């Protein structure tokens, strides 16, 4: 079967090879294998990575796959330094990072990054300028936006986060983030923080939105799988699994599995858009 890592853009080849692989059983390549795969990096990737790892390990108990977070910067650095086999990132590695570490990129999904508030907050729409003013600390009370007379509690991610980077670049136009902003360590932690704080504003991957948080329309467009897929919601990024050089052995087979029919189902189930 033609492997996907040889050319990220050659998805037409994948469609032919992937269909044949699905008929044979997407987990068949792991038969008779033994060993370990170490993964770290972007937290948005973890639900898909975990579902794929569970499927592989259930099919073959001699394979062990470990998954850690840490953010996109950590994933890129650790795979580049040979500490892990796959370094996940919610942003495309820079040209400098690619050259420094000899990275090969495997983009398997597109993800939107949504502004979210507590479900009880009546403010469900903002302009880009209002959002930038909030995060810079210039707009500090919900009453100025038609909400309660309460201070706006800003939540953000640390600088290693790919989610933060795409939000900062595409939603804030690289504007200021207030020093008073509270930090959340992951998409899950951000969702929990906003769900528990009636006066919070934060941002999560579209795939993490549930009843606990409410998406906020930005310049009239509500973040959703449909608006990200249509390209009308612009705060979006690719999800990458990066390797140091072309992947080999179990690492290659695991990445191939992410691109398989079963892997695509896992990607869709977590609210992401598979790369086609």
pLDDT by residue for the chain (276 residues), tens digit each?
333 333 333 333 333 333 334 434 899 999 999 999 999 999 889 999 999 999 999 999 999 999 999 999 999 999 999 999 999 999 999 999 999 999 999 999 999 999 999 999 999 999 999 999 999 999 999 999 999 999 999 999 998 888 899 999 999 999 999 999 999 998 899 999 999 999 999 999 898 899 999 999 999 999 999 999 999 999 999 999 999 999 999 999 999 999 999 999 999 998 899 996
- In sequence order, the 6+-apart residues with CB closer than 8 A to the CB of 159 are 73, 165
- Find tokens 């509690």 and name the residue: 153
CB 179 within 8 A of CB 89: no
3-state per-residue secondary structure call for 91-146: CCCCHHHHHHHCEEEEEEEEEEEEEEECCCCCCCEECHHHHHHHHHCCCCEHHHHC
What is the per-residue pLDDT across 126-151, written as a single tens digit (0 to 9) for each? 999 999 999 999 999 999 999 999 99
Domains 4-110+239-274 and 112-230 share a fold: yes
Tell me the C-alpha to C-alpha distance, in Å, between residue 87 and each of 91, 100, 140, 197, 208.
Answer: 11, 14, 37, 32, 21
As given in the structure block, the two tokens for residue 108 are 């398997």
Q: Give residue limits of the domains in the chain.
A: 4-110+239-274, 112-230
What is the per-residue pLDDT across 106-132, written as a single tens digit (0 to 9) for each? 999 999 999 999 999 999 999 999 999
Has domain 4-110+239-274 been given CATH number 3.30.1360.120? no
Rounded to two decimals, the pTM is 0.74
- In sequence order, the 6+-apart residues with CB closer than 8 A to the CB of 165 are 72, 90, 91, 159, 237
* Region 112-230: CATH code: 3.40.190.10
């Amino acid at each position: 079967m033609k492997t996907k890592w040889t050319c990220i853009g050659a998805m037409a080849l994948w469609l032919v090879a992937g269909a044949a692989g699905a008929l044979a059983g997407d987990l068949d390549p792991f038969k008779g294998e033994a060993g370990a795969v170490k993964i770290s990096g972007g937290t948005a990737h973890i639900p898909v990575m975990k579902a794929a790892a569970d499927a592989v390990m259930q099919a073959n108990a001699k394979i062990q796959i470990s998954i850690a977070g840490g953010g996109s910067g950590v994933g890129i650095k650790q795979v580049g330094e040979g500490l892990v086999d796959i370094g996940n990132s919610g942003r495309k590695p820079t040209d400098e990072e690619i050259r420094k570490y000899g990275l090969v990129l495997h983009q398997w999904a597109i993800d939107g990054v949504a502004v979210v508030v507590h479900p009880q907050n009546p403010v469900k729409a903002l302009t880009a300028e209002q959002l930038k003013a909030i995060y810079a600390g210039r707009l500090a009370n919900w009453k100025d936006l038609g909400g309660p007379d309460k201070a706006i509690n800003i939540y953000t991610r640390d600088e290693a986060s790919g989610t933060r980077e795409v939000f900062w670049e595409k939603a804030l136009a690289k504007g200021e983030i207030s020093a008073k902003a509270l930090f959340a360590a992951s998409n899950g932690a951000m969702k929990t923080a906003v769900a528990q704080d009636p006066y919070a504003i934060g941002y999560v991957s579209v795939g993490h939105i549930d009843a606990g948080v409410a998406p906020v329309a930005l310049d009239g467009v509500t973040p959703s799988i449909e608006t990200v897929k249509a390209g009308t919601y612009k705060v979006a990024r690719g999800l990458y699994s990066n390797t140091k050089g072309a992947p080999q052995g179990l690492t290659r087979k695991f990445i191939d599995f992410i691109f398989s029919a079963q892997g695509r189902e896992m990607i869709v189930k977590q609210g992401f858009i598979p790369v086609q």
